[in-house]
Amino acid sequence: MAPLDHGPLLIWMVRPGTKAEKLRITAQKIQAQVQATQILPTTVQEQTAGSFGQPSSNVGQTAGSYGQTAGSSGRNASDTGQTAGSYGTAAGNFGTAASNHGQTAGSAGQTAGSFGQTSSTYGHTLAGTSLAPPNAAPASVPVSSAMRRELSEKLKGPFPELELRFSDVIAEELEDKLAAVEGTAEYPDLLIAGELPEGWEKSGLGVTRLGLPTFLDMPDPRLQFPWTITCILLHAPNPQRARAFVAWQHDSAPNIASRKKPLGKAAQDAARVAVGALGKVLDGDGLGDEADVDAAKFKAGLARAFALGEVPEESLSGLGFKIDVTDASANDRLALVTLRVIASSAQAFGVIRAHVVLRKDDRGRWKVLQISPNVREGTPGSSGWSAMHTYTSSTSPAKVVGISQAAPTDGDNRPPQPDLWWDNSGDSGLAVEWQMQLGDWTDSRMFLVLEHDPRVQTRVKAEFARMPGKYRWRVWALGLGGVVKLSPWRELNIIR
């Protein structure tokens, strides 16, 4: 976060125009177009009726009187145009390329901040499949001084010498305003908005945003905030400061690297494996030998595509990743690791949060039981991750019976978001793991079921199954001391 220690940072707060403002802007554009149009003068001569029908010798003039010499028209080429300015800045310190995933942990008790390395160059896309959330409703929100005040107060403590400035801009005027200040000190570093103008992603003015929600991670509207979009300008005067702001905004709380308490030996070893496994997935590779025998099988290219989001292929040139551990807990059987990824190239930037569940195999080696390369805050089920840390405490292993799935039956056809039923003995915590088939299986996602009481049946709504297609699901039974029992997979066909 060093770029935020001092220096200027200009943020434009972008809001949709009111009806009156839109009418004013439209009228101004029409007026400007009319004024720019060159109307050639015409001469009208008037004559009496008697002047018609006179001899041909009295009318006209010789051919030589028409036209003019070539030298009398046109201008020199040097009189028009201008030289191009110098725009853009070189890529900075985010996401420098490196490759050693899964390195040895070193001495016991090191802080999690010592984990994290960058990856190499990527460039795969998911051909023919749109990853964008379907029919995402734009938020029309008035400009909020509360947002400015909140940001200023949060940044003032850790970064007292940061020169933070704000300016309000109407979305319909955004591109014209940017053109008017291009190359000046008034050009912004960042845009914060609830909605950007239509076609913005193709305008070439902003840095491509990585790690945005896809249709598998549609945010819960109940958990969303009015100002949800932060965009770095491609020609930002302070590009590294702008990127550091986005990283801070994504996770402003001090991460584990800044704490004095070191990781325990078990958590340290698990974190090392988790970092290596995530690096492989973001490389477009599978988990390979890092996978637990019961880990969900998925297509590596799909996992990478859903982690980065639907972005132009050219923006991924030179893409690198820096992976840091932000939280980790483990006992002798189970480990939970949260990772932060800073993904960066000259034309793209994003901060991604990943969760990894690991358990030890028969030889005492940590293996990845489940990995979510891009966990979106505010999505259904995302809030249950912290509750799972209960099962990584060091205590005697509990006796877990597990569950018995009831419905839907394997391969059943159901309408969107059906109920999932199972018999629950009440001796464990519960979580549902699910995948969707898009040619191949996607990486899996998890949501915790807040149900501990013994019941004849537990019923939960399959909120993930919103779109037609094939899914599969299974239930985790989690006991104290890191005991995990998994139900079999069941396939589910969602139809309209």
What pLDDT, in 10s, does the model give residues 445-490?
988 886 656 666 788 999 899 899 999 999 999 999 999 999 999 9
Token output for 283 = 């490389």
pLDDT at 423: 86
Q: Rg (Cα) of the chain, in Å, rounded? A: 31
Residue 52 lies in a domain: no
Lowest mean pLDDT among 182-191, 358-367, 454-463: 454-463
| Within-domain flag for 414 | yes
pLDDT band at 145 (very low <50, low <70, confident <90, very high): confident
pLDDT at 33: 83
Domain around 487? 386-496
Number of compact structural domains in the chain: 1
* pLDDT of 169: 92
pLDDT bucket at 233, cuts 50 / 70 / 90: very high
Mean pLDDT of 247-265: 65
pLDDT band at 242 (very low <50, low <70, confident <90, very high): very high
**241: Cα within 13 Å, side-chain hemisphere:** 22
Q: Please, which pLDDT band fits residue 120 given cuts at 50, 70 and 90? A: very low
Name the average pLDDT for the chain: 78
Q: What amino acid occupies position 342?
A: I
pTM: 0.75
**Model confidence band, residue 336 (pLDDT cutoffs 50, 70, 90):** very high
* SS3 state at 81: coil
Residue 436's pLDDT is what?
96
What percentage of the chain has pLDDT greater than the value 90? 46
pLDDT on residue 252: 62
Q: Is residue 363 part of a domain?
A: no
Residues with Cβ within 8 Å of 232's Cβ and at least 6 positions away in sequence, in order, are 189, 190, 206, 207, 239, 242, 243, 246, 349
Output the pLDDT for position 11. 96
Indicate whether 72 pLDDT > 90: no
Q: Which residue has the higher pLDDT, 158 or 252?
A: 158
pLDDT above 80: residue 209: yes
Between residues 295 and 91, which one has the greater pLDDT?
295
Question: How confident is the model at residue 192, as a pLDDT?
Answer: 93
Residue 390 lies inside a defined structural domain of this protein: yes
pLDDT at 302 over 60: yes
Q: For residue 444, what is the domain's CATH number?
A: 2.60.40.10
483 is a domain residue: yes
What pLDDT is recorded for position 361? 96
| 425 belongs to a structural domain | yes
For residue 50, pLDDT over 80 is answered with no
Residue 391 lies in a domain: yes
pLDDT band for position 146 (cuts 50, 70, 90): confident
Q: What residues contact residue 72 under an 8 Å CB cut-off, 6+ apart?
A: none
Q: Is residue 352 part of a domain?
A: no
pLDDT of residue 112: 42
Question: Percent of the chain scored above 70 by pLDDT?
Answer: 71
Q: Is 461 helix (H, G, I), strand (E, B) or coil?
A: strand
Strands (E), 16-135: none
Measured torsion, CA atoms of residues 111, 116, 117, 121, in degrees rounded to the nearest 10: 180
Higher pLDDT, 379 or 423: 423
Nearest of 386, 475, 400 to residue 430 by alpha carbon? 475
- The string of pLDDT tens digits covering residues 340-355 is 999 999 999 999 999 9
